[in-house]
Amino acid sequence: MTWWNRGIIERLGLHAPSARRKGREGLIERILDTAATAEAEGDPDTMRSCSYKLIRYELYERAWELRVRAVRLKQQRPIPEWEGDDIAGRDILVESYAPKDRIGEELRLARFIAPVANRARRCIVLAEHRLVPLLRRSFPAVDVRPRGINDAAAFAEADVAAYYETIALRFGKNANEIRRAFVSLRADPKLVTSIRRRYRRASDAPLIGLSWGSSNESKVLPSLEDWAPLLDWSAANFVSLQYGDIKRDLEVLRSFAGSRVIHDQEIDQLTDLDGFAAQIGALDAVVSISNTAIDMAGMLGVPTLHIRDDKSSAIWPQSGPSPWYPGMVFLYKQKRPWPELFAEARGLLEQMVSRVAA
C-alpha cells in the first residue's frame, strides 16, 4: 500500500493495516489500491475509472490528482500546464478532458472556470460547441470558443493551460470547497420568458419538467407506468425534457395526465442545449432520473428532484445530498416499489413549488 493510501485510510479511521475490511471502508481501500496500481503501471483508463468512484465517496483531492495524471499520459499539449502559481499577468486556456461525450460532466465542472478567470489576465475556454452560448452568457468576461474548431490558434494565444480537474485540484479538494465553488449558469432570459408564457397560455398551473430515459443501458430505470402516481397530480402541468424519439412514451404519459403533458417540438434537447437551458429555466421544478437534465437543472439552480435507484452510481452518493448541487433533493428508491417512490415525489414537489411561490 502506498503512503498516499495509508494517509487517506488513517484519516478515515481504517487503522487495521493487514485485515481486509468489509463494507464501505473496505470498498474505499480496494479502490485506492486499484488506483495506486494503475498509477504505478501508467494505466490512465483505470485511473480515471477509479476517480469517479472516489468522487462518490467525496475523496475529491485524490480523484483530481488521478485525473490530472491520467490525462497527462493520454495527451500532450503545446504549452505548459498551470501548476497553481500566480497568473495575474498571464493568459490561461481552460478545457474539459472528455474522452467520451459527457455533457453532464462538462456542465458540472464549468464552475471551475470562475476561480482562474478571476485570477488571470485573460481566460480562454474551449467548450463543447453546444455549450458555447450558455457559457458565454454565464461568464461574460471569458473568451469561450467551440472546441475542435481552431484549437491551435487558442493555444497560441495562451501562456498556460488547465483542465477543469487541474483547477479542481486547487479549489475543489473537499466537499465544502465543491459547494463554495458553485456558480449558477444563466439561460437566455428573453427565451425563458417566452417559453414560460407559451407553456402557461392555457393554464397557470405549476410547470414540472420530466426526464425519464437514458442512453446508458446499465441504469435501473422505472417504467413509464411507474410515474403514474406523480402524473395524477391534477394541479400541475408536466413538460417533457426527454431527448430522442419519444412519441410512444408520450402516449403512455398522456394516458395518465392527458393534455397536461407538454411536448415542445421547437426544442431539441440533443442539438440545442441553449434552448434546453431556457426550457428548464422556464419551469417551476424538475424531476428526473440521472442524466443530462439533472446537471443542466442543477447548474441553472432550478428546484430539482433527483430520482435514484438502488444501484451505485459513478459520482452520486448512496444516501443524502450531494455537494455538487446542495439544493437538489435526492429521492432514493431504497428497495421500495417505484410507484411508492413517485407518490412520495409528488408530495416533495408540491412542497418545493409552494416554497418557490412563497
Neighbours of 171 (CB within 10 A): 17
Averaged pLDDT of the chain: 91
Q: Is residue 45 part of a domain?
A: yes
The per-residue pLDDT for range 279-334, each reduced to its tens digit, is 999 999 999 999 999 999 999 999 999 999 888 777 898 888 899 998 899 999 99
Is residue 95 helix, strand or coil?
strand
How many domains are there within the chain? 3
How far apart, in whole angstroms, are the C-alpha atoms of residue 45 and residue 294? 26
Higher pLDDT, 358 or 33: 33
Same domain flag for 237 and 305: yes
- Tell me, what's the pLDDT at 8? 52
Do 218 and 168 sit in the same domain of this protein? no
In the DSSP assignment, the letter for residue 259 is: G
One-letter amino acid identity for 47?
Answer: M
- The answer on 105 and 57 residing in a single domain is no
pLDDT at 2: 47
65 and 143 assigned to the same domain = no
List all residues 6 or more positions away from 186 whose beta carbon is below 8 Å from its beta carbon. 134, 137, 138, 300
Structural domain boundaries, residue 44? 3-74
Q: Report pLDDT digits (tens) over 207-228.
A: 999 999 987 777 889 999 999 9
What does the DSSP assignment read for 173-195? SSHHHHHHT-------HHHHHHH
Residue 91: beta bridge partners? 122
Q: What's the pLDDT at 21?
A: 60
342 and 194 inside one domain: yes
For residue 324, CA distances in Å to 110, 284, 292 come to 11, 20, 14
Q: Which of 158, 180, 202 is the last residue of a domain?
A: 180
- 169 and 207 in a single domain? The answer is no
User: pLDDT digits over 342-351, tens only?
Assistant: 999 999 999 9
What is the C-alpha to C-alpha distance for residues 12 and 15, in angstroms, rounded to an integer? 8
**pLDDT for position 220:** 83
Weakest mean pLDDT among 97-101, 237-241, 312-316, 333-337: 97-101
Q: Do 234 and 286 belong together in one domain?
A: yes
Q: What is the pLDDT of residue 358?
A: 57
CB 286 within 8 A of CB 208: yes
Query: For the domain that residue 170 is a member of, what is the CATH number?
Result: 3.40.50
Residue 239 has a CB neighbour count (10 Å cut-off) of 24
The percent of the chain in helix, strand and coil, each rounded to the nearest 5, is: 50, 10, 40
The residue with cell 501562456 is 159
- The sign of the dihedral angle between the CA atoms of 62, 65, 70, 73 is negative
Q: What pLDDT is attached to residue 91?
A: 98
Q: Which of 298, 352, 104, 331 is nearest to 226 (CA)?
A: 331
Are 198 and 274 in a shared domain?
yes
Phi, psi angles (nearest 5°) of residue 210: -125, 135
Residue 156 sits in the same domain as residue 225? no
Is pLDDT above 70 for 85?
yes
Name the CA dihedral angle for 115, 116, 117, 122, rounded to a multiple of 10 degrees.
170
Give tens-digit pLDDT for 142-180: 999 999 999 999 999 999 999 999 999 999 999 999 999
Burial of 10 (C-beta count, 10 Å sphere; 0-12/13-18/19+): exposed
